[in-house]
Amino acid sequence: MALQGNGRHRADVEINVLESFELRSRRSIREAEKARLSRAERRAAKKAAKQDAAFFAANQTTQPVAQNVIRAQRKIRWFARRQVRNAVTMAISSGLFATFSLPAYAFNPDVVAMARFTTTSSQELADGADTQNLTVAAMNTVKFVRGTYQDAKASEIEREATLTNYRTYTGPTAADYLANPKYSGLDPATILAVAAKYVGTPYVFGGSTPAGFDCSGYIAFVFSQFGIALPHSVHAQNRMGMLVKPEDALPGDLVVFNDLSHDGIYAGNGNFYHAPRRGDTVKLAPIFTPNVHFVRIVSN
């Protein structure tokens, strides 16, 4: 021994060759002895297990069975019971038998005679005097043919309905009012009252009746009730009266666009009654452009 070891360094040990050989021999002897003991223990454990097995096998046949042991009965599910299986089998068999025998029963002459049918021909049944007018046989003769169709927008359907109503209008016209005017005096309040009666009338290009108006047709119809004949044209109506300044305009005057594309009846406060465009109706609305002038219609 050279030095004693401390907490950080291992002690320096000097061992000669003979001491090293002796240590290895002792270790190998101990390992061999341990291996022999473990093999003996395993053999002893196997032998004891065989003896135990032989003992229990010999005692199992001679040991009486306890009389008070109650064995649990096996639970059988409802669909596996004999009664359920028998009922299902009988139902399926009856259904198959009825299905196979139905055609023969339907065309049995005896059954037909009992039902007071003298024939099984569908055409003869349909032509019979006792047969109702509507029969299944008659319905089978109807042939349905696939046709063609086109998509239609709601606005188009509404326009068609408006045109139909316009063509079938039978009420008074502007010519009727010119022949027999409803009002004698041409005053602003009465003009506006008559113009307001037709708010909501649909726009119809070229329309001149309460079933449908365009801008100039609406004005001509209103003034016809005062006995004044105005042409159905913005250009011609623009020439029928006298031009007035915007600050001098009164309710009942005509509001005419400078490009002669549209006109209406002035209602005061920057508003006018007019029939705007297709898809719209007669309404009271603000004058939406400054490019207008005013024309006053004067009765003779």
pLDDT value at residue 138: 45
137: confidence class by pLDDT, cuts 50, 70, 90: very low
Encode burial over 225-240: b for 16+ CB neighbours within 10 A, e otherwise. bbbbebebebeebbeb
Boundaries of every domain in the chain? 88-140, 172-296
Q: pTM of the predicted model, to two decimals?
A: 0.51
pLDDT tens column, 23-68: 667 777 778 777 777 778 888 888 888 887 888 777 765 555 445 5
The confidence score (pLDDT) of residue 44 equals 83
**Rounded to an integer, what is the distance from CA 239 to the centroid of its chain?**
58
Name 265's bridge partners.
254, 273
What angle separates helix 188-196 from helix 215-224, to the nearest 10 degrees?
120
Mean pLDDT along residues 186-215: 96
Q: For the segment 172-184, what is each residue's pLDDT rounded down to a tens digit?
A: 999 999 999 999 8
In 10 A of CB 97, how many CB atoms?
A: 10
121: left (phi over 0), alpha (psi -120 to 50) or beta: beta
Q: Quick: pLDDT tens for 141-173.
A: 445 456 665 666 788 888 899 999 999 999 999
Question: Which is higher by pLDDT, 64 or 290?
Answer: 290
- Asked whether 294 and 256 are in contact (CB, 8 A), the reply is yes
Do the strands 271-274 and 254-257 form a parallel or antiparallel pair, or are they unpaired?
unpaired
* Cβ atoms of 195 and 202 closer than 8 Å: no
Question: For residue 285, what pLDDT band results from cuts at 50, 70 and 90?
Answer: very high
Pick the more confident residue, 67 or 271.
271
Of the candidates 218, 190, 216, 191, the residue with the CA atom closest to the CA atom of residue 202: 218
Q: Which CATH architecture has domain 172-296?
A: Alpha-Beta Complex (3.90)
Q: State residue 9's pLDDT score.
A: 52
- Average pLDDT of the chain is 79
User: How does residue 17 score in pLDDT terms, banded at 50, 70 and 90?
Assistant: low
